[in-house]
């Protein structure tokens, strides 16, 4: 059988918009979206128009929030919980391209509405998720601890590390729901440059992610309902780098998971720059580099500028030169051989951002490791398998079962 095309647009020709829609549709598997709601939003999006994107998802979010509030007022806990989760997802989806709209300042207020819905969802879980504060300077990192049942544990626990721009609520579909179904507890948190740490505190990304994961593990080990010998760390998207970096130094983790494996974050940007710009970056001439970037983005149009601004935001800089030099530090090659725990590495076909790096990670590791391909024939291709979260969880959690059993 001949290979299918590497890229196919299903809803819109605008590549980023189409990919985001598929991500949102993938959330239907765990109830974080509903197909009709997603398609109704798509009907109101104009090709490449970021304002229409914002308004379409905002309208669905507000409508579903109304459902949630109606169910909550009637004491219908399950219906309210499910609607709050979907509303959180839609609010977050609306701002994924906010920098290209006529008023980017709406990003933070809309994100706060996403957070409020997420917290309502967490509070209505059975048992409710514990909201925790993880010590960190200059501001504590917020986290949510989910238990698989109402017992006191101690539970094997998976830390789910978000990526570069995913909303907190996305972690429900990207690990938490599947883990709970199999008897694992789960912790999600906002690290530097992510969600509340970015939007509310202006705390940027950092490359030395062990300084983030170590306090997360410390916080878990203070809980009597966590089994200290059964803690795993899973990272999605750019989390595929952060997990590698953290595990090279934090050896209290029993198992590591990356989707995909990311050896060098900068490669995603480097591949889009001509040699002349790379030489200019190496020269250290910040002003000239930034001037050329501005000129190029003006020629590329609003879509190009929106994408760059969104990627720069978590680095808390307005300098293209500074952003790229910071991202160069995000390279695990010098420390990867220090990882000791067993590793699961997802390797999706047609990976858009870090193609080939899952294999690089596998080849470089010296610990027990498994690489698992996700194919386009299975509908499991592209970055983070957006349309195959059920299949991903089956394979990843089946791998984890003998490595770190849910029950002793």
Q: Active-site positions?
A: 237
Residue 127 to residue 151: CA distance in whole angstroms:
9
Which positions ≥6 away from 390 have C-beta within 8 Å? Answer: 29, 178
Token output for 118:
């997420």
Q: Which of 167, 162, 159, 217 is CA-nearest to residue 185?
A: 159
> Buried b vs exposed e over 344-363: b needs ≥16 C-beta within 10 Å?
bbbbbbbbebbbebbbbbbe
Q: Which stretches of 249-408 are DSSP H helices?
A: 267-270, 275-283, 286-300, 302-312, 320-327, 357-364, 389-403
Handedness of CA 94, 96, 99, 101 (dihedral sign): negative
**DSSP code of residue 169:** T
Cβ–Cβ < 8 Å for 351, 376: no
Residue 196 to residue 194: CA distance in whole angstroms:
6
Token output for 288:
């000239």
Which positions ≥6 away from 146 have C-beta within 8 Å? Answer: 122, 125, 129, 176, 179, 180, 185, 186, 187, 188
Residue 148 to residue 143: CA distance in whole angstroms:
16
């Amino acid at each position: 059988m001949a290979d299918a095309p590497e890229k196919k647009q299903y809803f819109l020709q605008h590549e980023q918009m189409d990919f985001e829609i598929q991500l949102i549709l993938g959330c239907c598997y765990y109830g974080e979206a509903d197909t009709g709601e997603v398609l109704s939003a798509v009907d109101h999006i104009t090709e490449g128009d970021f304002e229409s994107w914002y308004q379409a998802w905002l309208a669905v979010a507000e409508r579903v929030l109304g459902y949630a509030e109606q169910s909550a007022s009637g004491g219908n806990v399950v219906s309210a919980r499910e609607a709050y989760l979907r509303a959180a997802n839609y609010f977050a989806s609306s701002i994924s391209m906010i920098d290209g709209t006529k008023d980017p300042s709406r990003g933070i207020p809309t994100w706060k509405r996403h957070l409020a819905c997420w917290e309502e969802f967490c509070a209505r879980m059975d048992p409710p998720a514990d909201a925790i504060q993880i010590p960190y300077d200059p501001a504590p990192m917020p986290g949510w601890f989910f238990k698989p049942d109402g017992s006191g544990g101690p539970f094997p626990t998976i830390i789910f590390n978000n990526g570069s721009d995913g909303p907190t609520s996305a972690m429900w579909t990207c690990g938490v729901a599947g883990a709970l179904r199999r008897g694992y507890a789960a912790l999600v948190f906002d690290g530097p440059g992510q969600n509340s740490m970015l939007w509310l505190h202006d705390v940027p990304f950092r490359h030395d992610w062990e300084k983030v994961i170590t306090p997360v593990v410390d916080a878990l080990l203070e809980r009597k309902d966590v089994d200290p010998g059964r803690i795993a760390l899973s990272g999605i998207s750019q989390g595929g780098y952060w997990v590698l970096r953290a595990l090279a130094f934090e050896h209290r983790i029993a198992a590591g998971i990356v989707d995909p494996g990311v050896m060098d974050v900068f490669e995603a940007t480097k591949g889009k720059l001509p040699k002349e710009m790379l030489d200019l970056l190496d020269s250290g001439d910040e002003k000239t580099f930034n001037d050329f970037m501005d000129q190029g983005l003006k020629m590329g149009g609003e879509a190009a500028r929106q994408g760059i601004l969104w990627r720069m935001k978590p680095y808390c800089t307005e300098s293209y030169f500074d952003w790229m030099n910071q991202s160069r530090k995000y390279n695990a090659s010098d420390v990867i051989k220090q990882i000791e725990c067993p590793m699961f590495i997802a390797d999706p076909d047609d990976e858009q951002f870090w193609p080939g790096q899952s294999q690089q990670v596998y080849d470089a590791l010296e610990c027990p490791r498994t690489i698992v391909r996700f194919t386009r024939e299975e509908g499991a291709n592209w970055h983070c398998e957006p349309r195959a979260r059920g299949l991903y969880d089956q394979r990843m959690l089946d791998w984890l079962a003998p490595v770190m059993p849910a029950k002793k």
